[in-house]
Amino acid sequence: MTDLLGHQFTETTVTEPPVKSTPTSPQILLYPRVRKSPYFWQSRAHGVAMYSVYNHTYHPRHYGDPVAEYWHLLSDVTLWDVGVERQLEISGPDAFDFTNYLVPRDLNKCAVGQCKYVFITAPDGGIINDPILLRVEENRFWLSLADSDVRLWALGLAQAGGWNVQIQEVDVAPVQVQGPRSKDVMVDLFGPSILDMPYYYMRSYTLDGMDVVVSRTGYTGEVGYEIYLYNATANAARLWQAVWQAGQAHNMRVIGPCHIRRIEGGMLSYGCDITLDTNPMEVGYDYRWMVDLDQEADFVGKEALQRIRDNGVSRLMVGLEIDGEPLGSFNDGSMIEPFTVLAPSATHREVIGSVTSACYSPRLERNIGLTMLSLEFTSLGTNVVVETPTGLRAGVVVEKPFVDPRKQTPRS
């Protein structure tokens, strides 16, 4: 065999391969198999510095300076490519009853033209997704999805239950316009009537021949809107340019989802803070209003969540302040894994939970994090120990959200 392969094939070269250095910042592969947002090429032209994959789609995470993006969001107006929020449409004669069965909120309280932040729960109460629901018509709903395969779940439920509904991913894609000057941009695009739209409502408009739905929603805790574009595959470039041009007079900047701001606001990230292994009763008092256990109608997970409510939970999501050097902006790759949380002890190692999202808040000038803890450690002022990549740090339980707990800013 050695003769056939030549003298370079020796035992030494096989058993001792050349040592290669490990890249500290591996790249993400851009190629045809992963889906693209309809706005992919428009957002990319602004210099995307980091992507992740969300709903099987490339998602721009930031454009080089997440902290500068944070400050711009707080002071001016920003444009986001959120075409990764795939729109699942449920329509047909049973659409209301089926959608009401899919989510724990009582949709009898959701009028046509209104939006709701909802959980989708499994039979054991675990969270499958946390989309924004838009009631487009009496029997037509959109679910603006977080990162999980809800379409397959909904198709299976409808088939098994014999529901008379159509479930499809439609060619509708949103952009977000967020920040205190977003109203100025939206007035320039759609006229002053848009200022009359209440928080978490939506309206239909036509912009330069393009049909859109505008909602007063967003993932920031700031004043903001989402523009849902029909026929997005064909019209995405035109809409992006129209919004970008309107924004020039108002100092618009293209940014990625600002995780510093969403952590400050106690806003959840599916896959980080909540998963199938998390139920709505565990994510804190500020989310229990999303489960209507006393409604007459049944929904997936109702019995399990009633049992959890009656018996109580063993863990709870809290806010945590963490000492030490700044942790980073979360979307800069500074938090690859959750941080393990320990009970303070000089003699043994007792795991009591994990920090699921953490960052340094520039305006609060401290590290903050959303943290799932054993119930006995969730009282305000409780001291804990946090294992971070740079070593052990002290942590203390505090109120969440960290900023604007009554959400007065986005409602203004």
| pLDDT tens digits, one per residue of 64-95 | 999 999 999 999 999 999 999 999 999 999 99
- The pLDDT assigned to 15 comes to 53
Give the side-chain half-sphere CA count within 13 A for 222: 28
Whether 169 has a binding-site annotation, put simply, is: no
Question: What is the token pair recorded at 81?
Answer: 């490519």
Q: What domains are defined for the chain?
A: 31-258 (3.30.1360.120), 262-398 (3.30.1360.120)
- The pLDDT assigned to 285 comes to 67
- The pLDDT assigned to 18 comes to 59
Assign 16 a pLDDT band (cuts: 50, 70, 90): low
Please check whether residue 82 is in contact with residue 175, taking contact to mean a CB–CB distance below 8 angstroms: yes
Assign 4 a pLDDT band (cuts: 50, 70, 90): very low
Assign 286 a pLDDT band (cuts: 50, 70, 90): low
Assign 17 a pLDDT band (cuts: 50, 70, 90): low
User: How many percent of the chain have pLDDT more than 90?
Assistant: 91
319 φψ region: left (φ > 0), alpha (ψ -120 to 50), beta (else): beta
- The pLDDT assigned to 14 comes to 45
Nearest in space to 239 (alpha carbons), one of 60, 73, 39, 45: 39
pLDDT digits (tens, 9 = 90+) for 355-370: 999 999 999 999 999 9
Nearest in space to 359 (alpha carbons), one of 319, 392, 399, 398: 319
The mean pLDDT value of the chain amounts to 94
pLDDT digits (tens, 9 = 90+) for 137-194: 999 999 999 999 999 999 999 999 999 999 999 999 999 999 999 999 999 999 999 9
- The pLDDT assigned to 405 comes to 87
Q: Tell me whether residue 167 is exposed, middle or buried, using C-beta atoms within 10 angstroms of its C-beta: 0 to 12, 13 to 18, 19 or more.
A: buried
How many angstroms separate the most distant Cα atoms in the chain?
83
Contacts of 353 (CB under 8 A, 6+ apart): 315, 341, 371, 372, 373, 374, 377, 384
Question: What is the token pair recorded at 298?
Answer: 């049944």
- The pLDDT assigned to 223 comes to 96
Please check whether residue 345 is in contact with residue 411, taking contact to mean a CB–CB distance below 8 angstroms: no
Please check whether residue 194 is in contact with residue 213, taking contact to mean a CB–CB distance below 8 angstroms: no
- The pLDDT assigned to 28 comes to 93
pLDDT digits (tens, 9 = 90+) for 319-353: 999 999 999 999 999 999 999 999 999 899 999 99
Is it the case that residue 317 has pLDDT exceeding 90?
yes
Please check whether residue 257 is in contact with residue 37, taking contact to mean a CB–CB distance below 8 angstroms: no
What is the identity of the amino acid at 260?
A: I
Is it the case that residue 102 has pLDDT exceeding 80?
yes
In this structure, what DSSP letter does residue 222 have?
S
Nearest in space to 154 (alpha carbons), one of 139, 169, 172, 140: 169
Is it the case that residue 11 has pLDDT exceeding 50?
no
Question: What is the token pair recorded at 285?
Answer: 């008092």
Please check whether residue 256 is in contact with residue 268, taking contact to mean a CB–CB distance below 8 angstroms: no
Is it the case that residue 7 has pLDDT exceeding 50?
no
3-state secondary structure of 395: strand
Please check whether residue 236 is in contact with residue 174, taking contact to mean a CB–CB distance below 8 angstroms: no
